[in-house]
Chain A
Amino acid sequence: MSASLEKGIKALKKEVDSTVGAFFSSCVNCGMCAEACLFYTESPCPARTPINKTEPLRRIWKQEYTLIGRIGKMLGLAKPVDHDFLEHWEKLVYDSCSLCGRCSMVCPVGIDITALIRKTREGLAAAGHAPEGLVGATKRAVTIGSPMGVKLPALMAQIKHVEKDTGLKIPMDQQGAEYMLLLSSMEIMNFPEFIEAIAKIFDKAGVSWTISSEAFEATNSGLQIGVSDIAAELVQRVVDAAEKLKVKTVISPECGHAYMAIRWDGPNLIGKAFNFKVRHILEVLDEFSKDGRLKITGKETQKLTYHDPCQISRRGGVIDQPRNLINLFAEDFVEMPEAGKMNWCCGAGGGVSSNERADELRLKVFQRKKDQLDVIKPDVIISACSNCRIHLEDGLEEYNMEIPLMSLTETLAEHLEE
């Protein structure tokens, strides 16, 4: 990734479309987005106001794509878009934004601010102003196939354990399987119980599934850092594998941005509609439940709550399914205030967790989640994103809160009817 200012400006120009024009033309600088953003509310610095994070893109749009801006540029009145300026914006765009999308739900004129920040990242990354941690993760994703450097032997070792523990075969590279499962590196390394849960549930459901040895990684660092070429390359790997194995549906695992990458951005990144379906694991499990393929027994008596991962709920549209599934085993399910599409981010999405420089800030803004949890005081938090889960654990520890976390898929597997 050789970076330059010219490339950065070119990348920003490429992002300008009619939505950008309509959004920037409508902003009245009301500042309501600040109150919608946990990076502002928990660490109130006015520069962290969401709309301000889009300034690099706004300047390019104004100078290049509006009559008045072009006249201003000719008269030498245009505000510069140079290295100093972009460097200054790097921390706002990467460290202080998890692309959670809450501002986009609140803006009174309807600006999808998150989409604009995502676009702004394209320019910053191309100009060489992306955080080191994300650059490293992205390089590993391209060269090794995983942002955490997880290679096939590591996956195979975990699968061997799972097969031993469950007595079930994990079907690798099985042609014609109905479902192809993707995994996040974090699941492979930290939560292999997820693979175990899938093996048990799919076995009971009696459906065929497989994991591709060529494309098992679900995460997409290209999307987080904002380099569409790389994001497209990572999506293409999954598409090639799915086409080779002729599967009907690709399953995105318990990871927020992975779902965004493959479900919503994927076809647009590679410029071609998929000839297979993409579903989140919770959508698949909810379908199983409705078809009578998922039989659950026993109840959890503890007070449970569900943390909506932003990219799965607000940005992804999978909101009802987790609730349907939790109600299969929960006796005492309580929603946090502002749950569902207005949920507050844990603070670590959108590449923030891969960016060590942002560690202090992401723990600080966790206060927002703490406040939400303090209202209902749950015994257990359920989520459906490994990244949320790791960060929730970090945050709870930081604030001396002892609330265990559960994965929804894993909990369902524990309650399978024998």
Chain B
Amino acid sequence: MSEIEFLNWVRGPAFEIATVIFIAGVVIRILEIFLLGRKRNLAEAKGSEMSSGLRTIVSRSIPDKNTFKRSSFKIVSGYIFHLGLLVTIFFFAPHILLFKEVLGFSWPSLPTAIVDAFAAVSIITLIAVLIHRLRDNVLKFLSSTEDYLVWLLTILPLITGYIAFHRIGMSAPTLLAIHILSVELLLVAFPFTKLMHTFTLPIARWYNGAISGYRGVQS
């Protein structure tokens, strides 16, 4: 297979397969949650589930002062690499072109230099996150193969993208193909790993806020 053929396969059939697995997987996982159902609370309510739930979806993004002090590295590094991912995935001009092709609409991009900086900072932060995970007693204890696999799958598209953009080493089509392939790996693994928190986090936060809010406490 020539490098162009390889790129075409990665962009064509492989991308379609990965996208289908990603979408179907996510839908199945979300259905799996909601189909479990939840009993109606029969106790006399003291507050609204809906408004407390919605508030917690937002408020849980901002830790209280003491929690921040106790877990500052996790919170700061978490914010940085999530923001980095958001910027690199959704505000890099070539990515927006792809989204336009798939979704039919687009949005303004950020200057390439800025996206590039976000990517570099995210890569460095993710490496720091891994070192932290390997050194911290609690994290070492909690971590399974999945945690390390997910870390790898998350950093690979950043690294391959960075290399492809700067054309380091191999020829452009091969670098691009490798980058796309790494994203496809991420997409395929996504529904079956903790990456799913991207979609289930608002649901979990809503439940947390609703449970607390029903009793009159803002969580």
Contacts and interface: CB of A to CB of B under 8 A. Distances in A.
Partners in one complex: yes
Contacts of B36: 16-18, 20-21, 65
A23 B33 CA distance: 9
B44 A277 contact: yes
Given A29-B143, A44-B137, A52-B141, A110 B56 contact: yes
A338 B66 contact: yes
Interface centre among B41, B61, B200 (most CB of A within 10 A): B200
A111 interface: yes
Interface stretch (B7-15, B92-100, B190-198): B190-198
A338 B65 CA distance: 10
Given A25-B197, A25-B200, A29-B194, A104 B219 contact: yes
Contact of A32 (B38, B47, B74): B74
A47 B29 CA distance: 28
Nearest to B47: A317
A317 B215 contact: yes
B42 A272 contact: yes
Contact of B67 (A31, A35, A274, A337): A35
Interface stretch (A121-129, A175-183, A219-227, A260-268): A260-268
B161 interface: no
- List 4 tightest A-B contacts by C-beta distance, closest first: A110-B205, A317-B216, A46-B141, A267-B42
Interface of A: 16-23, 25-32, 34-36, 40, 44, 46-47, 49, 51-52, 65-68, 104-112, 115, 263-268, 271-274, 277-278, 313-317, 319, 337-338, 341-342
Q: Is the interface of B mostly helix, strand, loop or mixed?
A: helix
Interface residues of B, number: 59
Contacts of A30: 74, 78, 139
A65 B35 CA distance: 10
B197 A264 contact: no
Contacts of B33: 18, 21-22, 25
Nearest to A263: B43
Given A108-B63, A110-B57, 4 more contacts: A19-B207, A29-B142, A52-B141, A272-B42
A268 B43 contact: yes
A67 B32 contact: yes
B98 to A, nearest CB: 27
A28 B67 contact: no
Nearest to A268: B42
A109 B205 contact: yes
21 contacts: A16-B36, A17-B38, A21-B36, A22-B203, A25-B196, A46-B138, A104-B212, A106-B63, A108-B61, A108-B78, A109-B205, A110-B205, A115-B211, A267-B43, A268-B41, A268-B42, A317-B46, A337-B66, A338-B66, A341-B217, A341-B219
Interface string B16-37: 0000000000001100111111
B101 interface: no
Nearest to A264: B43
B135 to A, nearest CB: 12
Nearest to A106: B67
Given A49-B141, A109-B204, A18 B209 contact: no
Nearest to A67: B28
Given A110-B205, A317-B216, A19 B28 contact: no
A18 B38 contact: yes
B208 A104 contact: yes
B139 A66 contact: no
B206 interface: yes
A342 B28 CA distance: 36
A278 B34 CA distance: 31
A19 B203 CA distance: 8
Nearest to A61: B36
A17 B39 contact: yes
B71 A32 contact: yes
B168 interface: no
A111 B142 contact: no
A122 to B, nearest CB: 14
Contacts of B208: 104, 107, 110-112
* A22, A29, A107, A319: most-surrounded residue (chain B CB, <10 A): A22
A9 B60 CA distance: 33
> Which of B37, B194, B209, B218 counts the most A-chain CB atoms under 10 A from its CB?
B194
Contacts of B75: 108
Interface string B112-128: 00000000000000000
B141 A35 contact: no
A118 B143 CA distance: 23
B197 A26 contact: yes
B130 interface: no
B193 to A, nearest CB: 9
Interface in B33-89: 33-39, 41-44, 46-47, 56-57, 60-61, 63-64, 66-67, 70-71, 74-75, 78
A162 B78 CA distance: 59
A268 B194 contact: no
Contacts of B203: 22, 26
Nearest to A44: B137
Given A16-B36, A26-B204, A112 B66 contact: no
